[in-house]
Structure 1
Amino acid sequence: MPDSEQFDLVVLGSGSAGTKVATTCRKAGWSVAVVEARDFGGTCALRGCEPKKVFWTVAEATERARNLAPHGVAGGDALRLDWTAAQAFKHSFTDPVPENREAALRAAGIVPIHGQPRFLAPDALTVGERRLAARHVLIATGAAPAHLPIEGADLLATSDDFLLLDAMPESLVMVGGGYIAFECAHLAARAGARVTILQADDRPLAQFEPDLVARLLERTRGLGIEVALGCKASRIARQGAGFAVACENGREFQAALVVHGLGRSPSLQDLALEAGQVAVEKGRLSLDPYLRSTSNPRVFAAGDAAAQGPALTPVASHDAAVVARNMLEGCHTKPDYGVVPSAVFTIPPLASVGLTEAAARAANPDVEVRQGDMAGYQSVRRTGETAAAYKLLVAPGSGQILGAHLLGPEAPEVINVFAVAMRAGMTADALARMMTAYPTGGSNISSMLG
């Protein structure tokens, strides 16, 4: 084997977390390499949030035109999502990413390396025939679809596969009822597919406020999407040109494509972590409060690979800032996942920040709940959307905002305002007095809090 190449930092993964740590440490004068087993750019830019939002934008435009067809959009009721054309549009975003990301790393003085990294020792890795010696290693390899103990699980398509479809199949079954399932289902249905979501229990989108999920569920079924509750998939088999999915309750569903929608887990396979003395517990890295390996202090983790906070891109960027600071200044900084907004990009979208009502009441049974329907609000009614609502949770006495939950056209943008207010410690009354541009989604906040 050739002599080792020496680096202050070797980063495994070129997504948002890995790239941010790499560039921060390089600016501080460190020698840095970034190793990528797939295409440079990471999941969010290539196979996740960003390409999904491109499809969503086209689907939302067609949906809005259809809703407004009776009110002045000529021909809007005939519109649908043209998946093939939208796929070409999406590629205009994703195709340049790997080359641009690699070029940006090189321009920053970082060494990009293609291949599968594997630990040889606590301070050494191999990538093909190359041997890398590292003073520090960052594991930022993201996440992959979780392994499912279901007969025929190897027949499942992934969300990666879904976002790469050249044409939309006539029918799909989504196994699972979380973010991935609902987002893909709403896109597929608007591209003309017959879609079924299989949820093992009666709580789809369990991270979100049940009252608003129920409204979204009604809207989802109104699109023709079947949401089968209490249907835990037990077997997947080929059937003719498609597939059959059997459930434990005896029901069976057929489709041209079956998609994995049952969550993701840290992508740690093939890293030879044992050789690096990097401890793993129940499929997750064992990390201290500073995102550092409990068994090998040279090694840190960030983002989905760390699996400490919600699996969201802003969390990965937050982790990266924490890790870079701890590497450069010593371990004094801990991540803060206290106020993290999130959204599921269905149409309409659902967004949330802070506690659900159940969690808030567990801490204080007297929590104040402010809730209502927003379909009649000007900012909603003018879009033609009929499913829109809010639920806000306020601490009695102090007026502290404990949680905000929104369903409606501008929910993902407005939830950010609540997140800022919560981080800043604003009371509900103070936020209600905020002046906003009108009429906008943000201008609804005073009505919600009034």
Structure 2
Amino acid sequence: MTETLDLIVIGAGMAGVSAAKKCARAGWSVAIVDELPYGGTCALRGCDPKKMLRAGAEAVDAARRLTGKGITGETRIDWPALMKHKESFTDPVPESMESGLKDAGVRTLHGRARFIAKDRMAIDGHGEIAFRHALIATGAKPRSLEFPGAERLIDSTEFLNLAELPRRIVFVGGGYVSFEFAHIAARAGAQVTILDRGARQLKRFDPDLVDMLLDRSRAAGIEVLAEAVIERVEDKGGAHRVVFRTADGTDAVEADLVVHGAGRVPAIDHLDLAAAGIETEQGGVKVTPWLQSPSNSRIFAAGDAAASPGKPLTPVAVFEGKIAASNMLKDKRTEPDYTGMPSVVFTIPELARVGLLEEEARERADVEVSFTDTSGWFSQKRLGESHAGAKIITAEDGKILGAHMFGPDYAELINVFSLAIKLGLTAAQVKAMPAAYPTGASDIGSMF
């Protein structure tokens, strides 16, 4: 007789783990399954290992900025040693994650899962499992590239596990992955090129600050080529030759490594969703505003696998996982509130945003926009940083609608504005906040 569970979760990343624990602690029979090591993209193949490697790049860049200002001598990255530093975090994650799930009462399974009916799935090595509810939290994967030679590219997961760093690297795409990895690789001594088919890079961020980031990237030795459409990647004596087309004609660049940074899509192709009557849209699982499948009420989806309004960010995945779990447990229709969710590109320095872009805010109402070049301020002067800026957008009633920042430690400072937007605070209320001095937060009052 086939076993029936209250909940089966597909995907042991942040969305799936948070939901599985919540339901198990409420007394449900819960299992979670993943064909990859437990931990998901963020902990194992994305955010966290990336930032471990960035620590080395930050240290090198900090020393170089202060050369002649009290710091002498050559500072360089030992790539294999830096990789071991990263592994000191990532290696224990799967066992720790699985142990935490078991402690919460979740049954942990390993293998590929696929639906075979509206209330049933098959899992490699475990047979068939029936369920009252299922949560799809399988995350995302690099999107397919169609040009000849695309199979020669490596993805972000492979980059984060490079035993040695090649001398010449081309990143394809103008988003988070390309810019973050490019800034690490350039500080480690690689010759780096970013090829982006679009006219504007990092489209989700303020264009004025993106321009600052582009200037800073070029100052770090990164070549950024916009409106460069790749035609093919071919062999060049054991290396690669990337052929691309621009408005000026066809050109090429040689590289020892070509990295896919041209976007990600929901990782749901292998699930056989049609067998369970699960609809999709925009590449992800179609969901109601409360994260339930409209075509199969047993099914919920959260995180990058869901076609929800939430951005593909780890905090969104965790938040949606908990909301989905609560809705299943209580048979409610609570909708996630994405207000005040910040986002950061961890270049050096970092680019951060929360709330509306200037163009979005102007479409809605009359607004006040304060754009400040902060590169000459004390906070940057002490670090030798040459590029920094902030743009704060407020409504007629003084409420903060958006905050956009580029500079050292602004990934932390953006959280102040995240809280302000979440709570509906005005500019005057934020300026009234007493801050320790001298800190980044003490600069806030002068930004708008």
Of 80, 86, 90, 2:86 maps to 90
AA matched with 1:150? F
Deviation at 1:282, TM superposition (A): 4.3
AA matched with 2:87? H
AA matched with 2:384? G
Deviation at 1:74, TM superposition (A): 3.2
Equivalences, count: 443
Q: For 2:447, what is the secondary structure of its paired residue?
A: helix
Report the counterpart of residue 196 of structure 1 in structure 2: 193
Q: Describe the superposition over 1:340-396 as per-residue Cα deviations: whole angstroms up to 9, x where unpaired.
A: 1100000010000111111111222x4211111112222221111111111111112
Report the counterpart of residue 431 of structure 2 in structure 1: 432
Report the counterpart of residue 319 of structure 2 in structure 1: 318
1:132 aligns with 2:121: no
After superposition, residues 43-58 of structure 1 pair within 5 angstroms as 43-58=41-56
After superposition, residues 9-24 of structure 1 pair within 5 angstroms as 9-24=7-22
Deviation at 1:437, TM superposition (A): 1.0
User: Normalising by structure 1, what TM-score?
Assistant: 0.96
Report the counterpart of residue 25 of structure 1 in structure 2: 23
Report the counterpart of residue 382 of structure 1 in structure 2: 382
After superposition, residues 290-369 of structure 1 pair within 5 angstroms as 290-308=290-308, 309-364=310-365, 366-369=366-369
Contact 1:340 1:354 in 2 (8 A): yes
Q: Distance in 1 between matches of 2:63 and 2:221?
A: 18
Report the counterpart of residue 417 of structure 2 in structure 1: 418
Fraction of identical pairs, as percent: 48
AA matched with 1:402? L
Unpaired segments of 5 or more residues in structure 2?
A: none
Q: Describe the superposition over 1:100-135 as per-residue Cα deviations: whole angstroms up to 9, x where unpaired.
A: 111111122211000000111111111124211111
1:114 aligns with 2:126: no
AA matched with 2:426? T
Q: Distance in 1 between matches of 2:369 and 2:38?
A: 46
Deviation at 1:281, TM superposition (A): 2.8
Q: For 2:80, what is the secondary structure of its paired residue?
A: helix
1:123 aligns with 2:119: yes
Q: Describe the superposition over 1:50-97 as per-residue Cα deviations: whole angstroms up to 9, x where unpaired.
A: 00011112211111111112222232xx11222211100000000001
Report the RMSD for the aligned CA atoms in angstroms: 1.1
Q: Describe the superposition over 1:400-446 as per-residue Cα deviations: whole angstroms up to 9, x where unpaired.
A: 11111101001100000001011111100111111011111111101
Report the counterpart of residue 75 of structure 2 in structure 1: 79
Contact 2:174 2:195 in 1 (8 A): yes
Q: Distance in 2 between matches of 1:5 and 1:80?
A: 56
Report the counterpart of residue 288 of structure 1 in structure 2: 288
Q: Distance in 2 between matches of 1:198 and 1:444?
A: 35
Q: Distance in 1 between matches of 2:343 and 2:93?
A: 25
AA matched with 2:84? A
Contact 2:5 2:29 in 1 (8 A): yes
Q: Distance in 1 between matches of 2:29 and 2:313?
A: 28
AA matched with 2:213? L
AA matched with 2:253? F
Of 138, 147, 157, 1:160 maps to 157
Q: For 1:64, what is the secondary structure of its paired residue?
A: helix
User: Normalising by structure 2, what TM-score?
Assistant: 0.97
Q: Describe the superposition over 1:154-187 as per-residue Cα deviations: whole angstroms up to 9, x where unpaired.
A: 2211000110001100111111000000001001
Q: Distance in 2 between matches of 1:295 and 1:243?
A: 46
Q: For 1:385, what is the secondary structure of its paired residue?
A: coil
1:243 aligns with 2:243: no
Report the counterpart of residue 441 of structure 1 in structure 2: 440
Report the counterpart of residue 179 of structure 1 in structure 2: 176
Q: Distance in 2 between matches of 1:260 and 1:154?
A: 10
Q: Distance in 2 between matches of 1:339 and 1:168?
A: 37
Q: Distance in 1 between matches of 2:76 and 2:364?
A: 46
1:104 aligns with 2:100: yes
Q: Which runs of 4+ in 1 moved over 3 A?
A: none
Unpaired segments of 5 or more residues in structure 1?
A: none
Report the counterpart of residue 407 of structure 2 in structure 1: 408
Deviation at 1:339, TM superposition (A): 2.1
Q: Distance in 1 between matches of 2:196 and 2:27?
A: 50
Q: Measured at CA, do residues 114 and 287 of structure 1 come closer, stay the same or move farther in structure 2, by a change above 3 Å?
A: same
Q: Distance in 2 between matches of 1:110 and 1:291?
A: 22
Q: Distance in 2 between matches of 1:184 and 1:380?
A: 23
AA matched with 1:212? L
Q: For 1:275, what is the secondary structure of its paired residue?
A: helix
Q: For 1:69, what is the secondary structure of its paired residue?
A: coil
AA matched with 1:240? G
AA matched with 2:52? V
Q: Distance in 2 between matches of 1:241 and 1:435?
A: 59
Q: Distance in 2 between matches of 1:230 and 1:46?
A: 32
Q: Distance in 2 between matches of 1:307 and 1:444?
A: 38
Q: Distance in 2 between matches of 1:39 and 1:263?
A: 23
Q: For 1:70, what is the secondary structure of its paired residue?
A: coil
Contact 1:118 1:125 in 2 (8 A): yes
Contact 1:9 1:31 in 2 (8 A): yes
Q: Distance in 2 between matches of 1:263 and 1:442?
A: 33
